[in-house]
């Protein structure tokens, strides 16, 4: 397997921070907004995101976990600022 370059590593780290937040958003919407077919697909994707997140974070250095958490918080803040209901 090829080693990722710096740009790919940065993108992977971003995904690791953002995907759990997107999974949370999908869970929030899954019970009321999506069709049954989409609910099933979302549940599979959510499960995959949670499993990969757990696998990546298992035994990870605390500073990496904090970075992931901070990326997620920044994404939530960006979402709140840009999609605020006035």
Three-state DSSP class for 41? helix
Is residue 14 a part of any domain in this protein? yes
Is 39 part of a structural domain of the chain? yes
pLDDT digits (tens, 9 = 90+) for 28-43: 887 778 888 999 999 9
In order of 5, 27, 30, 36, 47, the CA distances from 44 in angstroms are 29, 11, 12, 13, 5
Q: Which domain holds residue 58?
A: 7-82
Q: Is there a contact between 16 and 74 (Cβ–Cβ < 8 Å)?
A: no
* 24 vs 33 pLDDT, higher one: 24
What separation in angstroms does the CA of 62 have from each of 34, 53, 73? Answer: 36, 14, 16
Rg of the Cα atoms in the chain = 15
Number of domains in the chain: 1
pLDDT at 86: 58
pLDDT of residue 35: 87
Of 4-8, 38-42, 49-53, minimum mean pLDDT range? 4-8
Q: What is the tens place of the pLDDT at every residue in 60-77?
A: 888 888 888 999 999 999
In a domain, 2, yes or no: no
């Amino acid at each position: 397997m090829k080693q990722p370059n710096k740009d790919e590593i940065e993108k992977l780290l971003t995904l690791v921070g953002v995907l759990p937040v997107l999974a949370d958003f999908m869970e929030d919407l899954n019970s009321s907004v999506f069709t049954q077919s989409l609910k099933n697909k979302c549940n599979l994707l959510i499960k995959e995101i949670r499993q990969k997140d757990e696998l990546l974070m298992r035994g990870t250095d605390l500073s990496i976990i904090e970075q992931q958490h901070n990326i997620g918080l920044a994404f939530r803040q960006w979402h709140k600022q840009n999609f605020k209901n006035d």
